[in-house]
C-alpha cells in the first residue's frame, strides 16, 4: 500500500498553471534544446518524443490525457519501453511508490516506463528533484504544448518550494529521491 507524502491543496492549483520552463509545440525543437537524460511526464508528451525518434530515459504515464482515456496509438507508446514499473498515485498527490519508482528509473540505464494507476500530473516536481544536473524533464501544458525544464539548482529550488507549499513530508520525499 502506497503512502501519500504530498497532497496538493486546492488553493495551490493556480500556482502550478505557470510553466516551469519554456513551452514548445515542436518535439524536434524541444529535443534540440534538451539535456540528457530526458524524463517525460504524460502520455501525450511521451508519444510526441517517441514520434520524433527519441525514447525518453524515463516516461511517467497514466493512460489518460486531460483526465480522459488516451487514444490507442498514444497508449501503445508505452510498449516502446522494455522495462515497466507499476505504481499507485491518486489524483493531486505524490506517493512513496511514485517517488521510489522515479529514483529507481533514473538510476537505471534501460529506458523505463512508470505506469501510474491514478494520476501522474505532479510527477514532474519530484522528477526535477531526483534527476541529475543537466537532465531535462518534459511535461505537458494542456492546450499549449510541452514544457522543457532543464534540471538546474534554480529549477530544483522552485520544485522544492512548490512541494513544501503542499501538505507534505518534504524530508521523507527528499530522502527517497536522495535530493
- pLDDT tens digit sequence for 109-136: 999 999 999 999 999 999 999 999 999 9
Give 5's pLDDT tier (boundaries 50, 70, 90): very high
DSSP 133-158: TT-EEEEEETTTEEEEEE--HHHHHH
Closest of 117, 111, 93 to residue 40, by C-alpha: 111
Kindly report the pTM of this predicted structure: 0.95
Residue 63 confidence (pLDDT): 81
For the purposes of burial, counting CB atoms within 10 Å of the CB of 11, is it exposed (0-12), middle (13-18) or buried (19 or more)? Answer: exposed
Give 68's pLDDT tier (boundaries 50, 70, 90): low
Collapse the DSSP code of 106 into the 3-class scheme (helix H, G, I; strand E, B; otherwise coil) and give the result: helix
> Which residue's entry shows cell 500500500?
1
Closest of 40, 64, 8 to residue 140, by C-alpha: 40
How far apart CA 47 and CA 160 sit, in angstroms, is 28
Whether the pLDDT of residue 67 is over 80: the answer is no
Q: Which residue has the higher pLDDT, 63 or 148?
A: 148
Amino acid at each position: 500500500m502506497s503512502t501519500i507524502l504530498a497532497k496538493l491543496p486546492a488553493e495551490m492549483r493556480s500556482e502550478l498553471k505557470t510553466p516551469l520552463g519554456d513551452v514548445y509545440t515542436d518535439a524536434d525543437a524541444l529535443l534540440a534544446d534538451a539535456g540528457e537524460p530526458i524524463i517525460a511526464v504524460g502520455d501525450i508528451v511521451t508519444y510526441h518524443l517517441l514520434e520524433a525518434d527519441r525514447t525518453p530515459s524515463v516516461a511517467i504515464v497514466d493512460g489518460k490525457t486531460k483526465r480522459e482515456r488516451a487514444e490507442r496509438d498514444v497508449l501503445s507508446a508505452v510498449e516502446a519501453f522494455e522495462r515497466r514499473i507499476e505504481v499507485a498515485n491518486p489524483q493531486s498527490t505524490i506517493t512513496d511508490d511514485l517517488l521510489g519508482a522515479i529514483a529507481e528509473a533514473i538510476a537505471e540505464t534501460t529506458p523505463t516506463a512508470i505506469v501510474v494507476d491514478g494520476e501522474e500530473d505532479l510527477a514532474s516536481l519530484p522528477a526535477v528533484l531526483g534527476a541529475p544536473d543537466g537532465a531535462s524533464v518534459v511535461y505537458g501544458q494542456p492546450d499549449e504544448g510541452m514544457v522543457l525544464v532543464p534540471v538546474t539548482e534554480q529549477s530544483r529550488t522552485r520544485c522544492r518550494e512548490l512541494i513544501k507549499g503542499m501538505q507534505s513530508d518534504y524530508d521523507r520525499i527528499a530522502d527517497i529521491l536522495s535530493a
